[in-house]
Every structure is written in C-alpha cells, then in structure tokens.
Copies of this chain bind each other. A is one copy, B any other.
C-alpha cells in the first residue's frame, strides 16, 4: 500500500493511541456508513480495536472488501459488508434488514457517509445541489429512520451519531453541504426528543479541518490554507473524530442527546476557510 496523499495510512491509523479501554464495545454491533475511506474508516478502525462487531457499508465494494480484513485483524470478531447507496431508501431498508438478520441486534449507527464538492453557490447546477442534499440530508435521514423503526419494533435501545460539518458561520464555497449538515443537526435535535421514549440517543459530531483522503476534492491552494483556519493553526486527525464518536456512543455519553460536538481546533471561533480558494474581495 502506498502512502496516501492526505491523512494516515492503515498502519499509522491502527497505531494511533486511544484513551479508551480494550473491550469497551465487546458484544456490541456498530454500523458505520462510508467506512471504506477517510473519517469513516478511522471510526471503523477504532471500534474494531475496542472489540465491536461491525457492519460497514458504502458505495465502493472494493474499498469495503479491502477494509474488512483489517478490521478483523484489529479485533472485530465479525465484520459484515454491504455495498449500497444511502440515497435509495429501499437499499437502506435492505441494509438494515441484513444487519439485523446477520447480528440479531444493532447498538450504534454512525452516519458518516456524505460528501460535497467545492463551488461558489451562485454557480450551482440544480443537479449538483440536489446530489449534495440528497446524500447528506436525505440519505442520513433514511438511515436514521430505518434504524429507529427497528429499535422501536424490537423494543431495543438505540444510539445514532451523525458526522456533520462546522456550519455555524455558514460555509462559503460549500453552501450546499452547509445547508444539508445544519439540517441533519437540527433533525437530530428534533428526533432526540421524539425518540427519547424509545431510549434512542441522537447526537452529531462536527469535524473541522480534518486531514483525510477527502482533501483530494479541493484545489491544492485551498488545501494549503486549511491548517491555518483555526486558532491551533493545524489540521486535526481522522482519529480525533473517531475518539469523539466513541465518547458519545459509549456509556460515557449516556446522558447526552441532541448534542453537537464540534472537533475543529476552535475553527468556529477564529479562522477563514475557503474550500474554493479565497476570492480577492476577502483578501483583507
């Protein structure tokens, strides 16, 4: 395996120190979407190291098939793989049924799948807009509702962690995803209340500038500025997001619901992110 252009390779990722105790997720089943690369893979790696049984899904079967044996090596006793798209509610239902058929339970759903492309909002095509909203908002919703229905029907408690983005100051250059991620965050707050009677917790983690394979979609001159766009003046690691997801999903988070945990080095407080490259107007 060649070293990736951005982020950590598999060995580096597997060797990241964790604060959590071994066996923390023994006998638990965790479903991670978009687990074949980037942040999703980092989340799957950490849950595997903590002993979770894993279901991983994503659009690219090759990436998932390459990831599954690594997860078993890292300590996951059972890894279930299904390639699918979260944009199709029928495929989402089929995935959920397959997970319950295989494991007989689901404990944690991590909605990590998503993505965007940098573009000035004024130039969005309808198709581009719809694609980003469909994946990030609609797709996450199909997964949330499909999981919640089964938890309700089985009388089992549930736990959802949605990976969003730091939309608090708007997201110039990625307005579509800013809208979709804000929507997921407030959807989570709503169902955190509606689904509390079913003992389902729903929370979000908002990664700031996290160095991952996802950096590839941005222009190199923009990527160079990402590490300067928070007061810590560095990028975060995909493993930082994995540690945040585990904190919220584990019993450590058992009194937390409807929360947004921002992991961005303080980027919402200071810094100027332009995924498209900074327009001259804003060079002050």
Whether the Cβ atoms of B196 and A231 lie closer than 8 Å is yes
A95 to B129, CA, bound (A): 57
Interface presence of A240 (CB below 8 A)? yes
14 further interface pairs, Cβ-Cβ under 8 Å (given A19-B246, A196-B232, A256-B261): A18-B252, A19-B247, A19-B251, A196-B270, A230-B257, A236-B255, A237-B255, A240-B252, A240-B254, A243-B253, A257-B264, A257-B265, A258-B268, A259-B266
Whether the Cβ atoms of B19 and A231 lie closer than 8 Å is no
Interface presence of A21 (CB below 8 A)? yes
Q: Contacts A231-B192, A231-B193 given: A208-B255 contact, CB under 8 Å?
A: yes
CB distance from A119 to the nearest CB of B (A): 27
Chain B residue nearest to A240 in the complex (CB): B255
Contact of A232 among B250, B255, B262 (CB under 8 A): B255
Whether the Cβ atoms of B247 and A257 lie closer than 8 Å is no
Q: Given the complex, which residues of B lie within 8 Å of A243, measured CB to CB?
A: 247, 251-253
A261 to B18, CA, bound (A): 20
Interface presence of A22 (CB below 8 A)? yes
